[in-house]
A and B are shown apart, each in its own frame.
Chain A
């Protein structure tokens, strides 16, 4: 047996253990692409908040206490427009409601017996990105330390980027900033595409979600539907159809 097969075999047997051998450091490493994507977006957020006249400490507090990209951008816009506070809170809630689905899914993958305190801490760091990276790991179960490492590097990058945006980012060329806007989408593509090749059910269901979301986005009837609702509805609808057609899940 050559070295590579041996390495693969040991990886696979590790993946089947009930508890995993994934460490805090593995979590930090898995989160590096997220950090790379977060920093420029957080810089952009800091800059936008500053140009909208939001006090620096408020922008920094937003990244610390909310830690959700889209709703922070929307929040800054609404605050600058002088929107009603309840409207701002409601919009934030709807935009982030999709995390409900994500934490529900990820809760099934964290080692059984993990304390509620750990779970409450980990819940704070679940974003579209940390969720995607964690749930597309081949290991079936994660140690809380792994998820904590993943969340921590993402959270640190998000906050570091906000500081840079608020205090330092004057001289970053516009073309570089807009090019970086694709970073997280490229990461999502890098996570999703290999799974599309591996499993037909995954291919069909992901495509269905794209189709439903496009319909909700472009069909004039759904003009009043926010992006947040669009993502929730298409995710739930596609997964529900998936569970009906492929009762054995992604491996059907």
Chain B
């Protein structure tokens, strides 16, 4: 396609729109308690859905992905700094592949 840049800008626009609308429309709005609770749960539900099953295909090999994920879970259970959890996860995958 000749006008690839136009397509990219259109992709940018449809990505920005769902980010933009709630930010400008819902700020300064007092939500009823039900929706307040609903939005409180969103981050945790989204994290759960983002982690699994996407994790399994993150390294090209479910075995190494599970190894890295387990290392990350164990480190996170000890409430270690997030960087330690990230590096531990990477190391877990690396070692699994090396062994």
CB contacts under 8 Å to A, within B1-49, are 1, 4-5, 7-12, 14-24, 26-28, 31, 33-49
Please encode chain A, from 180 to 217, with 1 for each CB lying within 8 Å of some chain B CB and 0 for all others. 11111111111111110100011001111110111001
Q: Give the interface SS of chain A, mostly helix, strand, loop or mixed.
A: helix
Instruction: Identify which of A1-9, A102-110, A157-165 touches chain B.
Output: A102-110
Q: Which residues of B contact A103 (CB under 8 A)?
A: 18-23
Please encode chain B, from 76 to 93, with 1 for each CB lying within 8 Å of some chain A CB and 0 for all others. 110110110110111111
B51 with A58: CB separation less than 8 A: no
**Given known A119-B24, A185-B54, contact A206–B69 (CB-CB < 8 A):** no
Across the A-B interface, the 3 shortest Cβ-Cβ residue pairs: A186-B89, A190-B85, A65-B12
**Given known A33-B82, A123-B19, A235-B45, contact A65–B9 (CB-CB < 8 A):** yes
**Given known A89-B11, A179-B93, contact A249–B18 (CB-CB < 8 A):** no
Q: Does A176 lie at the interface of the complex (its beta carbon under 8 Å from any beta carbon of B)? A: yes
A132 with B47: CB separation less than 8 A: yes
Please encode chain A, from 227 to 252, with 1 for each CB lying within 8 Å of some chain B CB and 0 for all others. 10011001110111011001111100
Q: Which residues of A contact B42 (CB under 8 A)?
A: 101-102, 104-105, 135, 235, 239
Count contacts on A: residues with CB < 8 A to the other chain. Answer: 101
CB < 8 Å: which of A36, A67, A85, A213 contacts B7? A85
A210 with B48: CB separation less than 8 A: yes
- State the total of A-B contacts with C-beta under 8 angstroms: 300
**Given known A93-B14, A194-B79, contact A186–B85 (CB-CB < 8 A):** yes
Q: Which chain A residues have a beta carbon within 8 Å of chain B's beta carbons? A: 32-33, 36-37, 54-55, 57-58, 61-62, 65-68, 71, 75, 79, 85, 88-89, 92-93, 96-108, 110, 112-114, 116, 119-120, 122-124, 126, 128, 131-132, 135-136, 175-176, 178-195, 197, 201-202, 205-210, 212-214, 217-218, 227, 230-231, 234-236, 238-240, 242-243, 246-250
**Given known A181-B60, A183-B89, A247-B37, contact A189–B51 (CB-CB < 8 A):** yes
Q: How far is the CA of A212 from the CA of B90 in the complex (A)?
A: 27
Count contacts on B: residues with CB < 8 A to the other chain. Answer: 76
Report which residue of A176, A218, A243 has the largest number of chain B beta carbons within 10 angstroms of its beta carbon. Answer: A243
Q: Which residues of B contact A108 (CB under 8 A)?
A: 26-27, 31, 36, 39
